[in-house]
């Protein structure tokens, strides 16, 4: 797949990002990424922010991640809670209480409706931790910037555009750094779950996302259902290879697709 074909691939809706009958909600979207991210935050509240707005909520006061999977399910619920659709005037009680994976899905769906290349990426954000000393599990987007001929990292949850440096580490980079003992794997995770298994899982999620299959947090491919000490040498080498290829998924897309097709334990089927 050449560069033009690859970029076209990332303009095409996947099953999880296709708005379907709710595509009309995207007809009059703001043009700029900052404005789109602001609009997304008017539709969604990350569960970590619930305490700050609990007094403004009514029926929905807990994490709703498990209620949704595809963008159509999210859009249907948003319309049910406010028939005006996607609006800057949406009350907190009318928003969905869902995490970063769903924020990225909404931005992807919006941009692809405009024919723009965008993809979900999975990794770890130091800007989510106190003093930036740990790397918190996080999902963002890569958006193709045609003028500069490069992907820019966009976090619609935190409204960050063009994230630079190691503020966000892709799962593959984290895996290689931890494998080479350049960084402590216990710095990677969230809440009470930290370590190499978390990096391994996000590596598999990122592989799936790059190939157009945006899994959810509880979708564990068979390889991710093993304890780390149960992985054999060949499985570890395969993960190393995937991590290396994910450092440049455009250049290595064919190799990533081939590895994915060859090893069914990297797949998750609902």
Kindly report the pTM of this predicted structure: 0.95
Block residue for tokens 């064919």 = 254
Helix (H) or strand (E) holding 165: none
pLDDT of residue 60: 62
The answer on pLDDT for 54 being more than 80 is no
CA dist list (Å): 41 to 25, 87, 99, 175, 216: 16, 10, 11, 31, 20
For residue range 172-199, what is the model confidence (pLDDT) as tens digits?
999 999 999 999 999 999 999 999 999 9
pLDDT score of 48? 87
Nearest-CA neighbor of 124 among 200, 63, 182?
A: 200
Closest CA to 96 of 114, 73, 128: 73
Predicted pLDDT at 149? 96
Kindly state the tokens that stand for 241.
Answer: 């290879």
Confidence band, pLDDT 50/70/90 cuts, at residue 212: very high
């Amino acid at each position: 797949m050449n560069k033009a074909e690859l970029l076209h691939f990332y303009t095409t809706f996947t099953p999880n990002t296709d708005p379907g009958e709710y595509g009309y909600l995207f007809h009059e979207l703001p043009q700029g990424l900052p404005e789109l991210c602001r609009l997304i935050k008017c539709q969604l509240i990350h569960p970590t922010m619930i305490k700050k707005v609990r007094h403004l909520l009514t029926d929905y006061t807990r994490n709703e991640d498990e209620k949704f999977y595809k963008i159509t399910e999210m859009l249907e619920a948003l319309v049910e809670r406010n028939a005006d659709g996607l609006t800057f005037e949406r009350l907190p009680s009318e928003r969905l209480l869902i995490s970063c994976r769903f924020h990225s899905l909404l931005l992807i769906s919006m941009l692809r409706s405009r024919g723009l290349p965008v993809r979900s990426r999975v990794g770890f954000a130091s800007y989510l931790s106190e003093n930036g000393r740990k790397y918190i599990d996080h999902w963002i987007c890569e958006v193709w910037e045609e003028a500069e001929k490069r992907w820019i990292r966009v976090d619609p949850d935190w409204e960050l555009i063009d994230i630079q440096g190691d503020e966000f580490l892709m799962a593959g980079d984290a895996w290689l750094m931890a494998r080479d003992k350049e960084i402590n794997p216990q710095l990677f995770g969230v809440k009470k779950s930290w370590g190499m298994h978390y990096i391994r899982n996000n590596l598999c999620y990122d592989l799936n996302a790059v190939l157009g299959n945006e899994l959810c947090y509880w979708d564990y491919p068979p390889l991710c259902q093993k304890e780390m000490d149960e992985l054999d040498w060949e499985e570890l080498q395969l993960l190393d290879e995937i991590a290396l290829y994910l450092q440049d998924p455009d250049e290595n897309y064919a190799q990533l697709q081939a590895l994915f097709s060859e090893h069914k334990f990297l797949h998750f089927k609902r």
